[in-house]
Amino acid sequence: MSAAAAIRARRATPARVGAHAGELSWRWLAAGAVTLAAALLAGLALGPAGIPPGALLDDLVGRLPLTDGHGSLSALDSAVLWELRAPRVALGALVGGTLALAGGAYQAVFRNPLADPYLLGAAAGAGLGATVAIVHVGVVPLPLAAFVGATAAVGGAYLLGRSVGDGRTTATLILAGVAMAAFLTAVQTLLLQQDTENVRAIYAWLLGRLSTSGWSDVLLVLPYAALSAGVVLAHRRLLDVMRVGDDEATSLGVRVGRVRFLVIGAATLGTAAAVAVSGLIGFVGIVVPHAVRLLAGSSYRVVLPLSMLFGAAFLVLADVIARTALSPAELPIGVVTACVGAPFFVVVLRTSRLAST
Amino acid sequence: MGSRSRTGVLLATAAALALSGSGCGDSSTGSSADGSEAADAAFPVTVRDATRRVTIERRPERIVSLSPSATETLFAVGAGDQVTAVDDESDHPRGVPTTDLSSYQPNVEAIAGHRPDLVVVPASVPRDVKGGLRRLGLAVLAEPAPDGLEDAYHQMRELGLATGHAAAGHRLAQRVRGEVERRIAAAPDGPSLDVFHELDPDLYSASSDTFIGRIYERLGLRNVADPAARRTGSPYPQLSSEAVVSANPDLVVLADTECCEQTPAKVARRPGWDEVSAVRNGAVVGIDDDVASRWGPRIPAFVTRVVDAMEVARESAGGRR
């Protein structure tokens, strides 16, 4: 195909997908931003410590530039708020946004509504890495081990899928991911069985938790989350084009293999960073993009950015439930997301089936 | 058990009563080695474990223990020579015959391979394992985690009785009780202090509804894990960092110094924890994980460390007020 034809084809695509239906409306963007802001406030205000909302607002306002207030919080409450609660809320937003965006990206790349960020073995690889780090404490830091495990697993699945497939279908890639995940999970389970002393620590990690090591975790995830978001969002139009099928997209001038590689790579990097600090939090990556698709439209120019905003809000709120439902005890956040996510998923499935018939 | 053993049961019960009676009577002088010899002759004996009466026909010579606490007690009552194998967690005292037997996932065949005549297991062991061992005709003692100190002393006496060291078991229980009570009596007075008992860095804790928690209760400490335990119904609840920091405990006991390499210095570096009273006053104490979780002869060592930390916390509290 000539370059001119490619440009023509690319120009033609918006009309094909539907210019109005495909664009992200300001109204939805504002709704996402407001929801996220409300979730962040709720995350800061609610928790087992019972910091009075008035004092909290005072303190918040006092920290704004150009104001001269000094907070009326005690040193202890201030430490709870700014060293424990705030980083946890920020981490929840980052992890939730990243996982939801990665889920949307995976669903786009694989044209499979059941795809989630863990499809190609990221969870199994991270789980193995984390287990090794917990069993051999002090050898490798847990976040690094989980990150390396996740990226290595997806990299391995990608190479494996390409080597056996002809590179034109995603089916071999998915199957390679399934095989990789099964193998790594088996190894991880074996390690777990042999080291009963650490069962609880490993189990806690597998269920997911928004870690309490303060701002350092936030700073750890931030660059990967930003890179991942940048790359995935930059490809949102091409992902829309690819919805029509690989062959058709290729004939429209999209370098399908390259887009797929970049988007999978970026989504995986974000996912790996997220699980490295928060463990395996399920359902965010699958529930949030589907909800957005139902409510705001199915174009990836809509689904991807909104998934990020609503995913961030969803996980922050899920964490509020995790730390207040049985306060002062803690619920694993993976349990909360699944408890909310599973029934919701059924609703999504029912609705989409009704809509398609 | 056939009717053959019924007279044995009666005899053993009578013997046990006689022994415990004499043990109480002359505990101050302490029984001599003769006491143990007399106990040797008293088989069969009957002891009660978590769920049933267990009759032990003759002095066990090949004991397998899958409970680290029981292992420590067995050696302390002088039954060490009779212990053939212990589980992979049993590591005290030095020289115990540690094997790769697991108390979490015990394998009946692997246990039977040591040809034991008495198997001591935690009561938490799966029922099919206990049943399997009994079907092989082995005497099985399933020891539950004790409800409190008295329960722990009771287990010491029973393990002594079951192994032919009834008098020594009695003396051990008396000695541990004496040391513990002396230390509790020496604990500083004053307004009650809040304690946080850390089982691992994920902030699992032990509430008052546990053996360790009962000891804190005896020391007059308030347990910051109790509200969480009430909400979750779990005696070992997981707390959030925020919950611990805002509870502001006067005393933090780290029972994760070995497993997870936690130290008072590391605790002080955790975000937000620098404002906690215990951290500010230096009342964070690391206690060997095993000492802080077993109910054997090392209970006094645990109480000593806690009382020392209480003194630190009390002094700085007094200084502040």
HEC string for A264-312: HHHHHHHHHHHHHHHCCCCCHHHHHHHHHHHHHCCCHHHHHHHHHHHHH
Answer yes or no: is pLDDT of B201 > 50: yes
pLDDT of residue B35: 45
A46 CA: distance to closest CA in chain B (Å): 11
Residues of A in contact with B229 (CB under 8 A): 329
Q: What's the gap between Cα B313 and its chain centre?
A: 26
Contact B280/A at CB under 8 A: no
pLDDT of residue A231: 96
A286 CA: distance to closest CA in chain B (Å): 27
Span B49-75, mean pLDDT? 92
pLDDT higher at A313 or A15: A313
Helical spans, DSSP H, in B106-257: 108-112, 127-135, 149-162, 166-186, 211-218, 226-232, 241-247
Spatial contact of B309 and B253, defined as CB atoms under 8 Å apart: yes
Answer yes or no: is pLDDT of B14 > 60: no
Contact A319/B at CB under 8 A: no
Going by pLDDT thresholds of 50, 70 and 90, the confidence category of residue A353 is: low
Going by pLDDT thresholds of 50, 70 and 90, the confidence category of residue A20 is: low
pLDDT tens sequence across B57-69: 999 999 999 999 9
pLDDT higher at A109 or B8: A109
The proportion of chain A whose per-residue pLDDT surpasses 90, expressed as a percent, equals 37
**Quick check: B238 and A80 CB within 8 A?**
no
**Quick check: B245 and A48 CB within 8 A?**
no
pLDDT tens sequence across A28-60: 999 999 999 999 999 999 888 878 878 888 888
**Quick check: A48 and B237 CB within 8 A?**
no
Task: List B205's β-bridge partners, or say none.
Answer: B198
Of A83, A204, A323, the CB nearest to B272: A83
CA dist A134 and B258 (Å) reads: 13
**Quick check: B259 and A197 CB within 8 A?**
yes
B18: its two tokens = 């006689």
Span A19-24, mean pLDDT? 65
Spatial contact of B36 and B75, defined as CB atoms under 8 Å apart: no
Chain pair A-B, CB pairs under 8 angstroms: 102
pLDDT of residue A13: 45
pLDDT of residue B25: 36
Answer yes or no: is pLDDT of A216 > 80: yes
**Quick check: A329 and B260 CB within 8 A?**
no
pLDDT higher at A353 or A7: A353
Span B188-211, mean pLDDT? 92
Of B234, B240, B276, the CB nearest to A48: B240
Task: List B284's β-bridge partners, or say none.
Answer: B252
Of A84, A200, A329, the CB nearest to B241: A84
Going by pLDDT thresholds of 50, 70 and 90, the confidence category of residue A291 is: confident
Answer yes or no: is pLDDT of A197 > 80: no
For chain B, which domains are there? 39-182 (3.40.50.1980), 190-317 (3.40.50.1980)
pLDDT of residue A266: 94
Of the ranges A170-174, B171-175, B260-264, which one carries the lowest mean pLDDT score?
A: A170-174
pLDDT of residue A112: 84
Spatial contact of B180 and B214, defined as CB atoms under 8 Å apart: no
Phi and psi of B285, rounded to 5°?
-125, 130
Residues of B in contact with A77 (CB under 8 A): 246
Q: What's the gap between Cα A1 and its chain centre?
A: 37
B145: its two tokens = 């985690």
Average pLDDT, chain A: 84
Answer yes or no: is pLDDT of B9 > 60: no
Sort strands B194-198 and B118-122 into parallel, antiparallel or unpaired. unpaired
**Quick check: A84 and B245 CB within 8 A?**
yes
CA dist A164 and A173 (Å) reads: 9
pLDDT tens sequence across B123-160: 988 888 888 899 888 999 999 999 899 999 999 999 99
**Quick check: B240 and A137 CB within 8 A?**
no
Q: Is B148 exposed, middle or buried (0-12, 13-18, 19+ CB in 10 A)?
A: middle
CA dist A329 and A323 (Å) reads: 7
Contact A200/B at CB under 8 A: yes
Interface of A with B in 39-58 (CB under 8 A): 47-50
pLDDT of residue A355: 59
Contact A327/B at CB under 8 A: yes
B317 CA: distance to closest CA in chain A (Å): 16
**Which of A160-174, A257-271, A341-355 has the largest mean confidence?**
A257-271
Spatial contact of B154 and B166, defined as CB atoms under 8 Å apart: no
pLDDT of residue B15: 44
Going by pLDDT thresholds of 50, 70 and 90, the confidence category of residue B202 is: confident
Size of chain B, expressed as the number of residues it contains: 321
**Strand (E) or helix (H) holding B83:** strand B83-86
CA dist B124 and B67 (Å) reads: 10
The SS3 assignment for A89 reads helix
CA dist B52 and B75 (Å) reads: 24
Answer yes or no: is pLDDT of B49 > 70: yes
Q: What's the gap between Cα B178 and its chain centre?
A: 16
Residues of B in contact with A76 (CB under 8 A): 245-246, 248, 275-276
Amino acid of residue B314: R
**Quick check: B247 and A80 CB within 8 A?**
no
Answer yes or no: is pLDDT of A152 > 70: yes
Q: Which of B230, B241, B273 to mutate to test the interface with A (most CBs of A within 10 A)?
A: B241
**Quick check: A76 and B200 CB within 8 A?**
no
Spatial contact of B167 and B31, defined as CB atoms under 8 Å apart: yes
pLDDT tens sequence across B214-228: 999 999 999 999 999
B107 CA: distance to closest CA in chain A (Å): 13
Of B234, B242, B271, the CB nearest to A213: B271
Nearest CA in chain A to B207: A329
Contact B245/A at CB under 8 A: yes
Q: What's the gap between Cα B277 and its chain centre?
A: 29
pLDDT of residue A21: 59
A172: its two tokens = 């071999």
Nearest CA in chain A to B246: A49
Residues of A in contact with B194 (CB under 8 A): none
pLDDT of residue B194: 96
Of B232, B241, B245, the CB nearest to A326: B232
Residues of B in contact with A88 (CB under 8 A): 242
pLDDT of residue A53: 79
pLDDT higher at B226 or A63: B226
Span B305-316, mean pLDDT? 92
pLDDT of residue A301: 92
pLDDT of residue B149: 94
Task: Please tell me the pTM assigned to this model.
Answer: 0.77
Contact A201/B at CB under 8 A: yes
Task: List B252's β-bridge partners, or say none.
Answer: B196, B284
pLDDT of residue A229: 96
pLDDT tens sequence across A104-138: 999 999 888 888 888 889 999 999 998 998 888 77
Q: Token pair 């090794």 is at which residue?
A: A132
Residues of A in contact with B204 (CB under 8 A): 200
Average pLDDT, chain B: 85
User: Would you state the torsion angle of the CA atoms of residues A64, A68, A74, A78, taken in this order, to the nearest 10 degrees?
Assistant: 20
Answer yes or no: is pLDDT of A17 > 80: no
pLDDT of residue A168: 58
Sign of CA dihedral A285, A97, A91, A86: negative
pLDDT of residue A236: 92
**Quick check: B242 and A85 CB within 8 A?**
yes
The SS3 assignment for B32 reads coil
The proportion of chain B whose per-residue pLDDT surpasses 70, expressed as a percent, equals 86
In the DSSP assignment, the letter for residue A64 is: S
Of the ranges A196-205, A254-263, A283-292, B91-100, which one carries the lowest mean pLDDT score?
A: A196-205
Residues of B in contact with A328 (CB under 8 A): 227-228, 231, 239-240, 243, 247
Contact A77/B at CB under 8 A: yes
**Strand (E) or helix (H) holding B102:** none
